[in-house]
Structures are given as C-alpha cells and as structure tokens.
Structure 1
Amino acid sequence: MTYPDVPLPGPSPDQEALFEGAAVTYARHRPGLPDAAVRLLADTLRCRPSPVLLDLGTGTGQVPLALLSAGAVLTHIEAVDVSPQMLHQARQALTPVLSHCTLTLVHAAADAYEPLATLPGEPDSGPDLITFCRSYHWMNGEAVLEMADRVAAPGAALAIMGDGSLWTHPAGWTRALRELIQHYLGPARRAGVFGSYTEPSSRFEEDLAASAWSDVTQHRIRVARTWTPDSVLGYLRTTSFAGAELFGDDHAAFEADARALLTTQAGERPLVENAVFTVLLARRRRGAR
C-alpha cells in the first residue's frame, strides 16, 4: 500500500489552533501508553502478513512509537492529525525507529481522511489496526467509524483508548487544581481558545454498537502515576482546558499560584493519579469485511 506524503483537506482553523504551539511540550509531558495496552494492540497484528497501522489524532505519534519501541512489526504507518506542529514532532520521534517501516503523515481531520492509493492487484489492502488514543472525543464519531469501515482491511481491529485527564481525576489535589483553573477561567471547562468543552452525546460503547465495529471487548488497565509540580505545569500547558493561551497575560500569575498549591499538596502527600486506561477493542461482526 502506498500513500503520497501530502496534506489532505479537512481541518478548520479552529481545529488547528487548538494544539498550535503545544507540540514540543506535549511530546515531553503527556503520559504514554501503559505496557499492557501496547501488548494488546501488538497482539492484533500477529499473523497479519504486512501489518498497516492507521492512527487517527496521532498527536506526537505516541501509539506508533510505543508499538515500534515494543518490537511490533509494522509495514506502514499512516498518522493523521489536524496540527502540522504535532505531525512534525511525530516525524522526529518516529524516524529513528522506523527501520523498514514506511511512514506517511497526513494533515487532515480524521473524518476527512481517505487513502490516496493502493497497490495494483490488492483491492483488500488497508489498515489492519485503526487507533484513537485520547482523540476520539474530538471527532465526529459516526463519520470516523463509517470511514474506518470503508478503508480497513478484512479482519482489521479498531481501538478507542483513553484515561481521562487531571481535570476529571477525583483526587484532593486535582480538585484543588481544577478550582484554581476555574478561578482564572470561569466554571466551564474550556476546549481551547474557541469555546467550552461539551460532553459527547453518547458513550463510545454506544457509538461502536451502532456501527460496523460492534464486536467489542473492554480492557481496563490500572495505572498509578506520580506527578511533580513541574510535570503537572508542563502537562497543563498541553491541554485544551488550561493551555497558556487561555490565560493571556495572567498565565504567569496562574502558574505561580498553581506551583504554590501543588508544592503544598506534595508536601502533605505525593501527587498520585490512580487512573484507569480503557481500551475498547472492536472488530466487525462475523460475516462482515
């Protein structure tokens, strides 16, 4: 399967602005995938003759990087994102570990993605694994699942993954931090510079059940992360709810207040996030492609 490394139409200026400028910080401070999740994804590629990964909302390429670093064999990686800055970071991270695997970076919204070409004589070529890591909630679920069914190879797997955020985590120190953010930005959870976050109208499981990808198994992986005040501040700069651009001239004051709060909290007990990383691993029902 071959894809020219050129941008496709799709992302709006608002979508691009959401993560503009955060890519380097994102690569440094965003938590990666748990080892158990990487093994689960790698297992879906076993016995596939020329495994192809389509990673939608790839960000800085965390999913393909984790798979390649764990020794998974991939023939081709198709990494799609609305942010050219994120794609630049993905290229820098992935190029040293590609070996014989080819990489195409596609600048597009996920629901606008289309494969550009397939090899002659291979009508059933397409991705063997389609992944969404902490990205599906930003997308038009019905449209991207329909697209995934249209482009995926027979017998392919699809994985929607995520673990919430420090905004949603129910610990004392995260609640105090959320209240401080709300003090500066107002009670609503922000979604970048263009509005407030709206909860999805349906659960991801419901979206899958209503799609071609209705054969679903859920995997819940417990993860304990210990944060420092510096790592929390770095993480917040990458988020849509507390990125630097949201605070304007007040960002330095916010970070000073947040550092003081977190230092006090860390002095009383470690800043621990006991998260659950959920993988919804889906396939088409028997008899479908």
Structure 2
Amino acid sequence: MMRPAQPASAAVSDDALFGPEAAGYARYRPGVPDAAVHLLAATQHGVPAPVLLDLGPGTGQVPRALLPVLRRLVHIDLVDVNVSMLDAARAVLEPVRGACTVDVFTGAAHTFAPAAPGRAPTLITCCRSFHWMARPEVLSMADRVAAPHAVVAIMVDGSLWTHEADWTAALRELIQSYLGEDRRAGTRGTYAEPSDRSYEDDLADSAFSEVTEHHFPLSRAWKPEDVIGYLRTTSFARPTLFADRHHEFEAAALHLLQNHADGGVLKEDAVFTVLLARRSGGAA
C-alpha cells in the first residue's frame, strides 16, 4: 500500500523550493526504470494517437523516457507550478520530440485544462510528485479532461531520507544535527506523518477505481559526490536550509559518505512502484 509523505500545508513545490536546482535535479535524480517505461507504453496499445499529461514533471524524465518507446505519442502536456522545471523539461524534450507537440501549463495540477480541443490525455502520469498535490482534486480534474479509456499512473520509490541502510541512517542523523529532528519539507514547513489515506484510497474514491499495482526492484550505486548533488535538490537538505553552514555540512557529509562507501560506491536497494488506474470497467 502506498502511503504518501505529507508536506506541511504551506509547502508548495514552487520556484522558491526547486527552481534554483533544476540543473542539479536533471543530473542527480534517478530516472524511471526501463521496465516501468515499457509498462506505461503498453497501456497505450491500440491507442492510435496517444496523448500524455505529465503532472509534476520535474525535468521531463517520464516523457523523455517514453518518447523512444512510444513513438506514436502525438502530444505532451507538462503541468507544474515551477517555471524553472518546465523550462528544463521543454529543453530536454526539444531534441527528441520529433513531430510530437509539447505544451506547458504553469499552475497547480488540479487546475489544468487542455489548451486546445481534441487533446484529451490517454495517459496521465505523476512520478514522485503526487504527495505535493491536492490529490482528490487532481483525480477529479483527470476525470474531466481524460479520454474515456485513459490510464492514470502514479509512481513512487521513496528517497534517500526514507531508505534504510547504514549509510543513509548516518546521513539522516548528520542532517538532523544541523537542522533538528523534524524532517524539513517545502519552503518553510516540516514533514508531517503520513495520513491514514493511501494513494489506493484516493483512487478507490475517484473515477479511476480499477487499480493494479506493479513493483520493480532495483539497485542503485551512488558515488559520494553524487549523493551530495542529490541532497541539494531535495526539500529536506537543500542549501538554503543551512544558511552559512552549508559548506560545513557538505564537507562533513562527504567525509561521512566516503567512510561508508565500499570501493567508492554506496548501494541503494529500492522498489519502484507503479499504480495503474482506469475508470471502472477498464482493464488496468
């Protein structure tokens, strides 16, 4: 069961939070596993002109991975409150989009409306970002705009904060020694314990109540320097939280990570989970 992390109510994934780190996000955030990409593409079997609506796209990882696999994709809508991320995503897609058109919508996901008629999404994706959103409202929006047999795909794989390993536990303790016990989230707030509602609960109460769950175990190998770059892109260890102690923190973190690395590598064993949801009567 997928239970979302809960940012503080004031926390919004806006330019103040992730905007300055768009380049680092593209470089250090893990991509979408190939098996998950092929699963997404398979949902469009028999769809003559697939349209993708990607919510919270970051730097465009999902559409960038889909384009070479789902070559029939005719249009992509990217929706985010973060202008810098949208600019980065468009730049990443431009060399590979071919005849596929791309539009961007700056605003909260639940307020999205297609810019032109005839572009009802047949696939709606939300990768590592659903927890930032007004989830029931987003699913209501999806019901309004999506094609009759559209698929909603919600994807998550946790973070280095939640991953359980000796090196991530030590890193978490180091961050807390600088920022306090509470995990930071958003631009001002802290992490709140997950609500009793899971993503499955949200989907069950929406039009997209036919759900299948898919798990893809994976192993990642991190270099200590790449973990430092990754931390700069997170809401829990971004540079501004440390103020004038950020350089000191990064030096301490790099030393810690180097000590934990085996042959210069830090291992992360994770599971990438995909929820595929259709309206009642469809086969997810």
What TM-score do you get using the length of structure 1 for normalisation? 0.90
Q: Which has the higher contact order (CA 8 A, sep 6+)?
A: 2
Q: Which residue of 2 aligns with 1:61?
A: 60
Q: Which residue of 1 aligns with 2:243?
A: 248
Contact 1:82 1:107 in 2 (8 A): yes
* CA offsets 1:156-200 (integer angstroms, 9 cap, x no match): 100000100000000010000000001111111101331102244
Kindly state the Cα deviation for residue 267 of structure 1 after the two structures are TM-superposed: 4.3
**Which 4+ stretches in 1 moved above 6 angstroms?**
none
* CA offsets 1:22-74 (integer angstroms, 9 cap, x no match): 10000011000001000000001121111100000011011000001335420
User: What is the alpha-carbon root mean square deviation over aligned residues?
Assistant: 1.9
1:229 aligns with 2:224: yes
Q: Which residue of 2 aligns with 1:257?
A: 252
Contact 1:42 1:72 in 2 (8 A): no
Q: Which residue of 2 aligns with 1:207?
A: 202
Q: Which residue of 1 aligns with 2:106?
A: 107
Q: Distance in 1 between matches of 2:213 and 2:183?
A: 27
- Give the number of aligned pairs: 273
Q: Distance in 2 between matches of 1:235 and 1:284?
A: 37
Question: Bigger CA drift: 208-217 or 110-119?
Answer: 110-119
Q: Specify which of 266, 273, 279 is matched with residue 278 of structure 1.
A: 273
Structure 1 portions without partners, runs of 5+:
1-11, 120-124
Q: Specify which of 171, 174, 196 is matched with residue 190 of structure 2.
A: 196
Contact 1:53 1:77 in 2 (8 A): yes
Structure 2 portions without partners, runs of 5+:
1-10
State, as a whole percentage, how many aligned pairs show the same letter: 57
Contact 2:12 2:132 in 1 (8 A): no
Q: Distance in 2 between matches of 1:232 and 1:162?
A: 19
Matches within 5 A, 1:1-289: 15-119=14-118, 125-201=119-195, 202-267=197-262, 270-286=265-281
- Cα distance 1:207–1:13, how it changes in 2: closer, same or farther (>3 A)? closer
Q: Distance in 2 between matches of 1:230 and 1:118?
A: 47
* CA offsets 1:215-263 (integer angstroms, 9 cap, x no match): 0000010010000111100110110111111111111000000000000
SS in 1 for 2:20: coil
Question: Bigger CA drift: 230-239 or 68-77?
Answer: 68-77
What TM-score do you get using the length of structure 2 for normalisation? 0.92
Q: Distance in 2 between matches of 1:66 and 1:183?
A: 38
State the AA in 2 paired with 1:222: P
